[in-house]
Amino acid sequence: MSKVAFLFPGQGSQFIGMGKELYERESVSKRIFDEADEALETKLSSLIFEGDAEELTLTYNAQPALLTTSIAILEKFKEAGITPDFTAGHSLGEYSALVAAGAISFKDAVYAVRKRGEFMNEAVPAGEGAMAAILGMDAEALQQVTGKVTEEGNLVQLANLNCPGQIVISGTAKGVELASEQAKENGAKRAIPLEVSGPFHSELMKPAAEKLAEVLDACELKDTNVPVISNVSADVMKEKEDIKAKLIEQLYSPVRFEETINKLIDEGVTVFIEIGPGKVLSGLVKKVNRRLKTIAVSDPETIELALQTLKEEYGNAE
């Protein structure tokens, strides 16, 4: 029988109206949106369904909004009796993966990611940090570029190792600018500045990580029910102490997504179900190995299609 992994997206996949149809049609999904509103003492659901796109994009709104929408979709898989063999997420998506694996309650997770977003937003004043996607350059060559720029006094480092030929760098605005120029001089096809509010997954996030540690202390973490692949190590994390340490480290460490997918392939996973808005992770999986089966689910129709596919092809649905 094929092994199945649930993947959960991170910031950038959000859009106004995501999850609204589920909220209106599915009571198990509605309950998750209502729980988020209660936990955060604000109408997050209203912002998600009919709010302002710019406001939703703010990191402390986008993070709980994406987590909530992903878990609202997940509830339909739980209702159908489907348990994945593994879970994983991209940055913020790791919290959704941990909820799915029973390591943290949704209520604790949605509060933690709201605080995570606030801390990330506060860590570096606007305009002082930046991120850019570097296309067509391997990690080793790009590491040499970022290392040289950092040594010269402008911190920049690899932030997201997404798939072959697509790596995101993060650091000071000057560091990212210089590394982008030098990457192109050394053979990179393109360097695309990203519209983000801070230098995520860089050493500049360490102040945010220290504050996040205090929030996680107040959350009840448990050992996982299914293995979760960590962003930091691209390896299995199951024990609560390890999970907490990895979530803190994740804020200032690279997201090893390509290695995560390769680890899941090594573990026998052939079916990847992206649970949440958009199809970003499905696209990255295909770039790692185009023969893999990917299913992106974000609304009642795609959920039904995924459940039917699992039942017919893989025998994973009851």
What type of residue is 253? S
Helix locations, the chain, DSSP H = 20-25, 27-40, 44-50, 53-57, 59-79, 93-100, 106-123, 139-151, 173-185, 206-217, 240-250, 257-266, 280-288, 300-309
What type of residue is 87? T
129 sits in which H/E element = strand 129-135
**CA distances (Å), 109 to each of 36, 182, 265, 277, in order?**
10, 39, 28, 18
Q: Which of 25, 261, 275, 300 is nearest to 308 (CA)?
A: 300
Tell the residue number behind the tokens 């295909």, with chain if given. 286
Which of 70, 96, 197, 201 is labelled catalytic? 201
90 is catalytic: no
Task: Write down how long the chain is.
Answer: 318
Cβ atoms 116, 208 nearer than 8 A = yes
Which of 91, 197, 230, 298 is labelled catalytic? 91
Q: Which of 96, 119, 118, 121 is nearest to 108 (CA)?
A: 96
Distance separating alpha carbons of residues 258 and 247, to the nearest angstrom: 18
Region label for 17, one of left (φ > 0), alpha (ψ between -120 and 50) or beta (otherwise): left
Compute the CA torsion angle 224, 230, 236, 237 (nearest 10 deg).
-40
Distance separating alpha carbons of residues 108 and 187, to the nearest angstrom: 45
201 is catalytic: yes
What type of residue is 179? A
Cβ atoms 90, 176 nearer than 8 A = no
What positions carry a catalytic annotation? 91, 201
